[in-house]
Amino acid sequence: MISISEAITKFCLDFFEVLSKHFPSDNIICSPLSISAALGMVLLGARGNSATQIETVGKNKSFVLFLHICSTMRMCMYKSDIQKFHDIFSAINKPTTSYELANANRLYGEKTFNFLQQYLSSIKKLYQAELEIADFQNAAEETREQINLWVETFTNGKIKDLFAPGTLSADTMLVLVNAVYFKGQWAVEFKKENSKERPFQINETTSKTVQMMYHMGEYKIATIEEHPCQVLELPYKNGDLSMYILLPKDYTGLTQLEKELTFEKLTTWISPGHLKEDEVEVYLPRFKIETSAKLNQYLEALGITDVFHQGVSDLSGMTKTGGLFVSHVVHKAYIEVNEEGTEATAATGGGVTTTSARIPVKFVADHPFLFFIRHQKTKCILFYGRVSSP
């Protein structure tokens, strides 16, 4: 049986493949661990064919994490796996001075439905999430504003206006909100005085001028010959997290890299056998990405359909009142990368710059690339994204 971190990584790549088809040339950021948790909450309440669809997709797409949760809660099996899932969240969300991770999960259910206490207790225990009773029928717009305010507050003002005016209506029954925000400091910061304007080649005909950060020092780096690209690890303060950048040889290589990237390749490329410390000249653009996605369409593309449609949805694990279906599953992620780290902070830290007679390796991210942030202890990917145009 594969590990939870492997299941999450495979889910990450599968989901990103679907997402990238809808946004073929856009900047993208998503949080597979957060989405896994959000969908896990839906699965806990799904029964009948609604649950079977998720389980079938799980078997085909390696969403083993969901199967563990479903089996555990409904049949009291795989308790060790559900504990592992809980331990992962505890490890990642533990209080620390090296990074801040705000992961907002909350359900909003129409007040005319009586939600089961067992379900409410389960989502609180597993995901530290709550179900908020909402009056969509009579006050949809007021509820929308309340949801937006909660998300904005939870993410320190970084994620605003999750739902646009008119998104929710009197027909809305169940909304699942998932928003995630991350702030961290590099182990070795880029000096602002070294940042210069440089061209970034978006595609064959388009380029733009960006603020390119620069630092020369010791980094772990690998050159992958089979998919002409470089892999660079940028550690965060205290070493709990690292950002990995997958940089194709030129601007034409990203599509092929995305298409052919697998869990096995990704794991191999960032393994100690491939990543080696070297003196590296790093050129990395500042970038800020905010992605908001209504997940319904992407999950339906993977084969999960019934829970989103009234009349066929079976969420009797949430409520015995018939007719409940999921109106919206919304995921929003925000990330900003600059000299201090991921999202600027007032704190500063010193780093050691190395000098030697070696010829440094050049890592010049002046064309589109992939990146992900991984929690090193659990090996779970927290964020995964693409920079097409900083």
Q: What are the domain boundaries of the chain? A: 4-184+289-335, 186-286+353-387
pLDDT at 90: 62
Nearest to 131 by CA among 139, 140, 123: 123
Q: Does domain 4-184+289-335 have CATH number 3.30.497.10?
A: yes
Q: In CATH, which of 3.40.720.10, 3.20.20.450, 2.30.39.10, 1.20.58.220 is domain 186-286+353-387?
A: 2.30.39.10
Answer yes or no: are the C-beta atoms of 251 and 199 closer than 8 Å.
Answer: no
Task: Taking residues 204-208, report their average pLDDT.
Answer: 93
| Average pLDDT for 111-118 | 91
The pLDDT value recorded for residue 347 is 27
Say if residues 371 and 218 touch (Cβ distance below 8 Å).
Answer: no
Give the model's pLDDT for residue 70.
45
What is the pLDDT at residue 215? Answer: 94
pLDDT score, position 275: 93
What sections of the chain are H helices per DSSP? 4-22, 32-45, 48-61, 64-75, 79-92, 117-127, 136-154, 254-260, 263-269, 296-301
Q: Is the pLDDT of residue 361 over 80?
A: yes
Q: What is the pLDDT of residue 258?
A: 92
pLDDT in tens, 18-65: 888 888 889 999 888 777 777 778 878 888 888 777 766 655 554 544
What pLDDT, on the 0 to 100 scale, is given for residue 2?
62
- Reading the block at residue 259, the tokens are 């298409």
Average pLDDT for the chain: 82
Distance from C-alpha of 291 to C-alpha of 268, rounded to nearest angstrom: 28
Q: Are 110 and 134 contacting, i.e. CB atoms less than 8 angstroms apart?
A: yes
Tokens 């990704």 — which residue? 266
User: What is the number of residues in the chain?
Assistant: 390
Tens of pLDDT, residues 343-359: 543 322 233 333 345 68
Q: What would the mean pLDDT of 88-103 be, rounded to a whole number?
A: 66
d(CA 307, CA 51): 8
How far is Cα 305 from Cα 171, in angstroms, rounded to an integer?
18
